[in-house]
Amino acid sequence: MAFAPMGPEASFFDALDRHRASLLAMVKRGAGETPAGATRVASRFDDSIGLRMIPQCATRKIRSDSPKSVKKFALILKVLSMIYKLIQSDTYATKRDIYYTDSQLFGNQAVVDSAIDDISCMLKVPRRSLHVLSTSKGLIAGNLRYMEEDGTRVQCTCSATATAVPTNIQGMQHLITDAKFLLIVEKDATFQRLLDDNFCSRMSPCIMVTGKGVPDLNTRLLVKKLWDTFHIPVFTLVDADPYGIEIMCIYKYGSMSMSFEAHNLTIPTIRWLGLLPSDIQRLNIPKDSLIPLTKHDQMKLDSILKRPYITYQPLWKKELEMMADSKMKAEIQALTLLSSDYLSRVYLPNKLRFGGWI
């Protein structure tokens, strides 16, 4: 075994073990298999993958003889030439590196990002196959060790200092863990609070990851790699608000902008652990800690309720409708009004022990 368990007694994880057994049965039946991706612009929902491109979708042409697209054509050629050199020399560069090679030409980072996404979609290959990497912003902690591509051995810990998500996820090798579950935490502040409260040690063996809000590509690739490698239950801990739910949906079902690579990024088996709108009522969280939904919140919530995958999640739909009816939202930090360590000592342990996820 890679690590000596320090957490609860074995019976604590009975619900998790049963959940994992059902996930493994699903994978064995082939429900977790993912067909190849398609082309860009139009998307459809596939229950086993998430949002993915449809083969017969609208396309746009970028021409060298058209005044409207000649600049875009030149920019894509410029980026393509740099990608060619990277592949030929078997080296890697970040999107930021590419931008700074000619910042006056590109103008801003978004231009480079868009060109790389267009090239990736056009060639039907993941971005990492172009030898273009993103700078990681995510963090990981807990029961995991691995080797990076250059031979560096990394051992994640449950201490207050987390490990940065690697830049080259594809280069991670020899991953080892005894973790019973993986917890995705929406916000860095909540992630750090859980580490400070020794949640990771007390719930050992487990793994925690945060994308610090909307996850970057590397954080999503890491979570997908951990699922593909270990097939352990994956849970999300997000605010009970439309934008927290949106972030959870990105991990589970993907995003429109990256739907051409959905089969490499999404984990439809993810479960919503908290904070549920129903928990707000069940725990009698003080009303003065709740926040009224803004106009933008209501628009986002309406948008999520109309998405095709919500049809496959009746329990999610019920929670979203509860939020819409109450016209209130709550941050995870609202639990501290019950007690300063309620989240780490009561809420999450009870949820995990008794199967309080949907």
Look at strands 271-274 and 234-237 and give their pairing. Answer: parallel
Mean model confidence pLDDT for the chain: 85
* CA quadruple 179, 184, 185, 188: dihedral, nearest 10: 90
pLDDT at 35 over 70: no
**109 with 116: CB under 8 angstroms?**
no
Residue 34's pLDDT is: 40
Q: What is the mean pLDDT of residues 73-81?
A: 89
- The three-state secondary structure class of 137 is coil
Q: Which residues contact 45 (CB under 8 A, 6 or more apart)?
A: 51, 52, 253, 307, 308, 309
**208 with 253: CB under 8 angstroms?**
no
Residue 271's pLDDT is: 96
E-strand ranges in 186-327 read: 207-210, 234-237, 271-274, 291-292
**pLDDT tens column, 226-245:** 999 999 999 999 999 999 99
* Residue whose entry in the numeric block shows the structure tokens 């196959």: 129
- The three-state secondary structure class of 155 is strand
**162 with 140: CB under 8 angstroms?**
yes
Residue 147's pLDDT is: 94
Q: What is the pTM of this model?
A: 0.79
**pLDDT tens column, 165-204:** 998 898 899 999 999 999 999 999 999 999 999 998 889 8
pLDDT at 40 over 70: no
Residue 12's pLDDT is: 83
Residue 37's pLDDT is: 35
Distance from C-alpha of 213 to C-alpha of 358, rounded to nearest angstrom: 21
Burial class (CB in 10 A: 0-12, 13-18, 19+), 325: exposed
- The three-state secondary structure class of 38 is coil
Using pLDDT thresholds of 50, 70 and 90, give the confidence band for residue 36: very low
pLDDT at 294 over 90: yes
The catalytic site residues sit at 100
